[in-house]
Structure 1
Amino acid sequence: MDQSRIITLPPDSDVLNTGQLAELEQSYQNWAAQVRGEKSQAARRRILAIFLLIRYTGAKLSEVLSLTGEDIDAACQSIRFHSGESNGREVRISEELAHRLREVLPSSGSEEKGAAAIKYFAVDPGFIRRKFYERATACGFDKKRGGPEMIRRARAVELMRGNLPLPAVQRLLGHSSPNLTTAYLSFSDEDMREATRLYMERESARLTSARNSFFGKVRALREGEVQTLVELATPDGESIFAIITRASAERLGLRLGMLATAEVKAPWLILESCDRPGHSSADNQREGVIVRIEAGRVNTECAVRLADGAELCAVLSTPGFLRLGLKEGDPARILFSANAVILQSA
């Protein structure tokens, strides 16, 4: 399944990557903090809040501008967007984002709170777009790359590359008819909302991007004298195998059907060419296409896109990578041991 189909991107489009989005976000933060005067501060905080909502929820500009105070529950880390649905759609946000929204939204005791809580985001969309273009230009980006629609698209690409399950991305973006395969049917709407919450919490807490993550349900538990073999069924129908101690399994409270995430550090992945026979004792094997190579003098980072659109990042020595003779566009196989998998319970 090609996850890129869930959002239309013209062939020549150039969405911002995670690093560029972070640079743009910092630009908004600095811009909002540099102005004096209560009214000017409130106006810039409003634009910052609109950017943060689109940046992290992937919502449409029209959906954000129609929000009322009752739609944002920062305490419960929940936002309800309305876009034609009878009850709208609920989006869970990270604790970090909820905290930042509380900082920029009117406080409960402010004079602005009364009327603003109802229509705080009722701003001319043309004005918002101009401000978005200004911030993008200030960062040295083409203004269109920083527009609300492109920020939404950049978020979608970021989520897909971060291995958030396809139905969870579709629901987050407000797609009315998710493309569900048979494998996905065993994952409920609540499972996908929980997957989104877990992803966002992990995203906000992570200090490094050098990990590969998977989301799934515990399919099997095989206990040994000291260790337990855990099989995690992922939404694409594949399995991730992990070996942890029995004490760890008990501490995590693992049980059949339970939601969990699995992470593997990039240096623990083994990369090999698909041209060679895949005879290996590695418990986990995935095949894909090399989409990005960043070579250094010592190490090389290589991103492999799987059939479902997810990407895995491997870090290996540059001499070792050169011996493989691989380049962008080549098919490649990713392998990793069950002992290299870190499990986290939902």
Structure 2
Amino acid sequence: MTGFNRSDDGRILSIAEGEECLSHSQLNRLEDSFREWAEKPKRDDVRLSRLSVLLIFLLVRYTGAKLSEVLSINIHTDLDWARHLVIFRSNGNENAEPREVHISQSLADEIRGKIDTLKSHKESERLLDLDPGFVRRKFYERALECGFPKRLGGPEAIRKARGVELMQSNIPLPAVQMMLGHSTPNLTSSYVAFSKDEIQAVAQRFLEKESGRKTSARNSFFGKVSEILRGDIQTRVVMETLEGNSIITVITNDSLERLGLSLGRLITAEVKAPLVILHGGEASPKCSTENRLRGVVTRITNGEVNTEFIVKISETTEICALVTSSPSSPFELNVGDCAWALFNCSAVVLHVD
């Protein structure tokens, strides 16, 4: 397993497990409120002021940056439109390395358009350099307008909520830590090492999917090809995730060539929920299934046809399994039980960019 920095881990996980923060849907409601509020004024000066606050909100919302970092952005040097990057620099510390945070292409295009609107009325490299107290008041007002507690609408609370949102969407913990500016963990597992650039690439891939996602991110694994064993007709491919899990699949040799797979390439592996088999208990099941991931059942949703089980296999990764509902022979698993998520190598689908 990857050696995480537990102190940084705790700074994120304490929010998810203890402190209250806005959920994904609540963050979206708050964003809608900001957008409607920014569009209302007819006077140019009021509309432009609100547009600046909206931009600050979007940057905090999607980069997880501190308010002070966003207010310090130089629009000429800190926004890389070609690579969809926001660059945060450590003020007062010339030796500190800038932190690059990816945003989706659609968000980058939107932010660029709004900044161009502001620049047409006021030319300044510090267009977002507003009074922090003023910005916080506007954040609190929007939260109260949505019916949320004031404290949950502040920039710091939104930053924390973003961290939880990323983790609940299965983005690997090292990528979340890097985005939020926490000290990075040891990125070397027992089988494969991940560089800083590769961690950022994983984050970028997730953010692009997030911006257009219509389905759940569960059962998606991000990682690197660690082994390729080619046979006469098929090839065995092993992917190592950032959290140290190995995912095994078998593809045709034609698919190997078409995907352009090679050792060290970043890929995504997906498995459909109906193809996941659950096995209760602490001990590893005695079976021939290639992929076995141990976790804890965190949620069960009963339906007339199927029952959905969510198994948490790490702090940032969940697996969904669908089991046929049968009143005559109910599945003997409860929330909190240890369980193994099993799936054959043939159930895994690989994706590359």
Secondary structure in 2 aligned to 1:90?
strand
Q: Distance in 1 between matches of 2:146 and 2:329?
A: 35
Secondary structure in 1 aligned to 2:171?
coil
Root-mean-square deviation (CA, aligned residues, Å) is 2.6
- Of residues 179, 192, 198, the one that matches 2:205 is 198
- Which residue number corresponds to residue 292 of structure 2? 285
Q: Distance in 2 between matches of 1:320 and 1:172?
A: 46
Matched, 1:299 2:323: no
The one-letter amino acid paired with 1:287 is: R
Percent of matched pairs sharing the same residue: 44
CA distance change for structure 1 residues 16 and 205 in 2, over 3 Å: closer, same or farther?
same
- Which residue number corresponds to residue 105 of structure 2? 95
CA distance change for structure 1 residues 243 and 108 in 2, over 3 Å: closer, same or farther?
farther
Q: Distance in 2 between matches of 1:226 and 1:79?
A: 45
Q: Is the contact made by 1:293 and 1:328 (CA closer than 8 Å) also made in structure 2?
A: yes
Q: Is the contact made by 2:187 and 2:195 (CA closer than 8 Å) also made in structure 1?
A: no
CA distance change for structure 1 residues 143 and 339 in 2, over 3 Å: closer, same or farther?
farther
Q: How many residues align?
A: 342
CA distance change for structure 1 residues 320 and 14 in 2, over 3 Å: closer, same or farther?
farther
TM-score after normalising by structure 1: 0.89
Q: Distance in 1 between matches of 2:287 and 2:339?
A: 14
Question: How much does 1:258 deviate?
Answer: 1.1
Question: How much does 1:194 deviate?
Answer: 0.9
Cα deviations across residues 130-155 of structure 1 (Å, max 9, x unaligned)? 22222222222222222211211111
CA distance change for structure 1 residues 19 and 342 in 2, over 3 Å: closer, same or farther?
farther
Q: Distance in 2 between matches of 1:291 and 1:135?
A: 33
- Which residue number corresponds to residue 61 of structure 1? 67
The one-letter amino acid paired with 2:152 is: R
CA distance change for structure 1 residues 44 and 248 in 2, over 3 Å: closer, same or farther?
farther
Question: How much does 1:321 deviate?
Answer: 12
- Which residue number corresponds to residue 45 of structure 1? 51
Q: Is the contact made by 1:242 and 1:341 (CA closer than 8 Å) also made in structure 2?
A: yes
Q: Is the contact made by 1:300 and 1:321 (CA closer than 8 Å) also made in structure 2?
A: no
Question: How much does 1:9 deviate?
Answer: 2.8
- Which residue number corresponds to residue 275 of structure 2? 268
Matched, 1:253 2:260: yes
- Of residues 135, 144, 148, the one that matches 2:142 is 135
Q: Distance in 2 between matches of 1:146 and 1:319?
A: 44
5+ residue gaps, structure 2: none
Shifted more, 248-257 versus 132-141: the winner is 132-141
The one-letter amino acid paired with 2:10 is: R
TM-score after normalising by structure 2: 0.87
Q: Distance in 1 between matches of 2:333 and 2:303?
A: 15
Question: How much does 1:40 deviate?
Answer: 2.1
CA distance change for structure 1 residues 80 and 210 in 2, over 3 Å: closer, same or farther?
closer
The one-letter amino acid paired with 2:294 is: E
